[in-house]
Amino acid sequence: MTKLFLGWLTFLVVALIFSYTIAEPYPTFIMPGFARVFDYSNNQFERIEPELLFVDGSVQSVMDYKELFPNLKAVHPNAIMRNLFTSNHIDRTLVDTTSRSIYQRLKYFRYTSQQWMSEHFPRVYGRAIQDRGHDSATIAWLRRQLQPKSDSAVLHINWMKTIGIPSEDGAMRVSESVRIDSMIIKLY
Amino acid sequence: MKSISDLIYSAVDSYQIDKEQLGFYRIMYSLFILLTGAIPNLQLEQLSLYPDSFFTPPIGFAMFFDGFPSEVFCHILYITTIVLAVMMLFGVYTKWASLLFSLLVMLGYSFLFSLGKINHNTGFFFLPAFMAFSGWGNAYSFDTQRNSMKIKEKLSTSKGSFWIFMYAFTLGWLFWTASLPKIIGGWLNPSTHAVLGWFMNSYYGDDAQRFLAPMFTKTLNQWYSGVFWELADWFTIFFEFLFLWAVFKRTRMILFCAFACVFHWLVLNVLNIPSAGFLLCYVLFIDWTHFKIPSWVNKLLSNFDTLTKNATRTLVTVVITVGIIYLVQSIAPPLDLLFLPFVPRDETMYLEAIILESIGLLIALRYIYLRVLDRVRNLV
C-alpha cells in the first residue's frame, strides 16, 4: 500500500511540475489556480476579446466572434479564437513580459519551455506554436462560415483589451480600449 | 512522529465503508451521469465541424493522432460510454466497466480539449477508476448474484478502503494545487483583493449576473468592502491548501467536504461557475450510519437485485436502459427536459446547479453546526 501511495504521489508531483513548467497534460491532475490578480482600483474590470471586421468587397461588417461557432458547446469560443487567431505564441499564452511578479516570471519560463519543446519534440508540442490561422484548412473553414461574395474578402481579427468601470446604474462604461494584437486573413 | 506507513494505514482504516453504502453510491453516481447531461463524449460529434488545423492536442492520449477523429468513431465512443455507465449502474462486471468508463471519458475529452482549452473535470470522471478496486460493485448488482459466495463481508476490505483513500487523497491534491498559484500570484497580500478582481471581470466582462451576484456589487465602495473581499481571498486559500491535510482522517475529510459545499455555493453565486458534480464526489465520504434511509429507498434498491437476478434478465435490463437513455439524450439530457419549461436551454445547467448546490449547502451547514455543537459540549 505504502509503495503504491508513494508511486502515485510521485506521479502527481511530476504532473504538477510538468503542468507549470511546460504545458498542462490531459488527463490533468491540477485545478485551475485563478492566480492572476487584477487591478481593481476604481472597481474597474478588464476584458480581452477579439473583434472581427469582415471586409467583403465594398461591404464592411463588424461581427461577434461567437457567430463563427454557432453549434459549439463545452468549450468557450474565446479559447479557440485565442488558440488559432493570435499572431504569436506569446500573445496566445498571455504572458506579460513587462511584469516582474513571480507569477508572470513563471509564465514566461513556461513560454520559453514551450518554444524549446516545439523545436525538440514537434510531435508533442509542435502544433501549439504553429501559425494555424493562415492554414489553408482554416481559411477554407472561414469561407464556409462567412460565405464571402467577393474574391478579395478579408477578415481582420483585432484583440482588444477593454478597461471598464461600472456606472451608478450598474451598467458598464468603457474607459479605455487598446488593441493588443491583430491578424489579417485573406479568404482567397 | 508517525512513519509514512502508519499515517497511510490509519488513514485507510478510517475509510472503511459499508458495501451497501458503496453500492448505493455507485447507483447515485451512475444515475447522475446518465440523467444530468454529464454523460461524457456527447459533445464529441461537433468536432467534425472543425478542420484538422484546429487540432492542438494537450499532452496525453490525443497527441498520438494527427487530427480529430471521424464522426463514426465519436458516435461509437459516445454509445460505448452510455453502455459502460449503465453497466456501472446495474453492477455488471463493475470493475472493468468502471475502469473502461474513466479511460474512454478521458480519451473523448482529450479530443474535445484539442480545440485549445482544458476543463478541469478529472476529479469527477476519474472517480470510477479508483472505485473499480473499492468493491463498489458488491451490492445491488449483477456481480453480487454472480459472486454471491465470494462477497460476504459487510465492510469493504482494507484493499477497498485503500482505493477510497487514494481517491480522497487525489481530490485533496487537486484542491491543494489550486492554492499554490494563488499564493505565488499574491492572493495573500492584503492589498490585492483577487476575488474582487475576478468578480468584477466575470460580472461586467462576462455578464455573469445570475443568482446573488448583483447583491455582491452592493459591497463595492462600502467601508467593509476591503475586509470582506480580502477574507474571501484568505478563506479560499486556507480551505484549498488544508484540504490535503484533511484527507488523512475521514471525519476531518467530511468536515472539509462540508466547507467545500459552502465554497462551491459561493463560487456559483459570486462568479456563476457551476460545480455540482463535485458535490456528488463528496457524498462518497459521508458516514451514512447517522442517516435513517427511508424505506422506499431500500425498496428501490432491492429492485436492482431483482433486475439483475440472472444473466438474461440483466442483459435485457441493460439493453432497454441504454436504448431509453440514448433516445432521451438525443433530444436533451433528462433533467434538462424537466427544466426546459421554466428556463431557456442554455440556462438549465445553472438551474440544476443552484438547486443541487443549495441542497448541498443546507446539509453542509447543518453538519458544521452539529460538529461545532458537539465540540462545545465536549468542552463544557
Tens of pLDDT along A49-74? 999 999 999 999 999 999 999 878 77
- Grid cell of A144 as nine digits: 464556409
The confidence score (pLDDT) of residue B150 equals 62
In tens, the pLDDT along B9-32 reads 999 999 999 899 999 999 999 999
Please measure the distance between the N-terminal and C-terminal CA atoms of chain B and give it in whole angstroms. Answer: 30
In the stretch 86-145 of chain B, residues with CB closer than 8 A to chain A read: 106, 109-110, 112-113, 115-120, 122-123, 126
> What does the pLDDT read at residue B154?
56
Please give, rounded to a whole number of angstroms, the shortest distance from the CA of B251 to a CA of chain A. Answer: 21
Q: Which of B115, B159, B170, B203 to mutate to test the interface with A (most CBs of A within 10 A)?
A: B115
Q: Residue A85 — pLDDT band, cuts 50, 70, 90?
A: very high
- Taking residue B253's Cβ as centre, other Cβ atoms within 10 Å add up to 25
Q: Is residue B346 packed enough to be buried (19+ CB in 10 Å), middle (13-18) or exposed (0-12)? A: exposed
CA distance A188 to chain B (A): 17
Residue range A111-131: average pLDDT? 85
Residue B10 contacts A where some CB pair is shorter than 8 Å: no
Do B113 and A75 count as a contact with CB atoms less than 8 A apart? yes
Phi-psi region of A15 (alpha: psi -120 to 50; beta: other; left: phi over 0): alpha
Residue given cell 445553472 in the structure block: B350
Question: Low-confidence residues of chain B, pLDDT below 50?
Answer: none
Q: For A11-54, what is each residue's pLDDT tens digit?
A: 999 999 999 999 999 999 999 989 988 877 777 888 899 999 99
pLDDT for the residue numbered B298: 86
Number of Cβ within a 10 Å radius of residue A129: 17
- Average pLDDT, whole number, for chain B? 91
Beta bridge partners of A50: A159
pTM here?
0.93
Chain position carrying cell 465594398: A58
In the prediction, which pLDDT does A46 show? 87
Q: Is B286 helix (H, G, I), strand (E, B) or coil?
A: coil
- Judged against a pLDDT cut of 60, whether residue A157 lies above it is answered with yes
Shortest alpha-carbon distance between residue B91 and chain A (Å): 25
- Distance, in Å, from the CA atom of B191 to the CA atom of B174, rounded to the nearest integer, reads 27
A60 contacts B219 by C-beta, under 8 angstroms: no
Distance CA(B264)–CA(B267), nearest Å, equals 5
d(C-alpha B197, C-alpha A64), whole Å:
25
Residue of A23, A82, A164 lying closest to B59 (CB–CB): A23
Interface test with A, best of B204, B215, B349 (most A CBs within 10 A): B204
Question: If you average pLDDT over every residue of chain A, what do you get?
Answer: 89
Nearest to A35 among B12, B117, B182 (CB): B182
Q: What is the predicted pLDDT for the residue at A88?
A: 86
Q: Least CB-CB distance to A106: which of B109, B184, B187? A: B184
Q: What count of Cα atoms within 13 Å lies in the side-chain half-sphere of residue B99?
A: 8
CA neighbours closer than 13 Å in the CB half-sphere of residue B295: 0
Interior/surface letters B292-326, b for 16+ CB within 10 angstroms, e for the rest: eeeeeeeeebeebbebbeeeeebeebbeebbeebe
Residue A147 distance to chain B (closest CA, Å): 16
* C-alpha span between A30 and B176 (Å, rounded): 8
What distance in Å separates the CA atoms of residue B370 and residue B282, rounded to the nearest whole number?
Answer: 18
Q: Residue B171 has what pLDDT? A: 97
- In the sheet that A59-63 helps form, which strands lie side by side, from edge to edge? A59-63, A45-56, A154-166, A172-186
Residue B42, all three cell numbers: 456527447
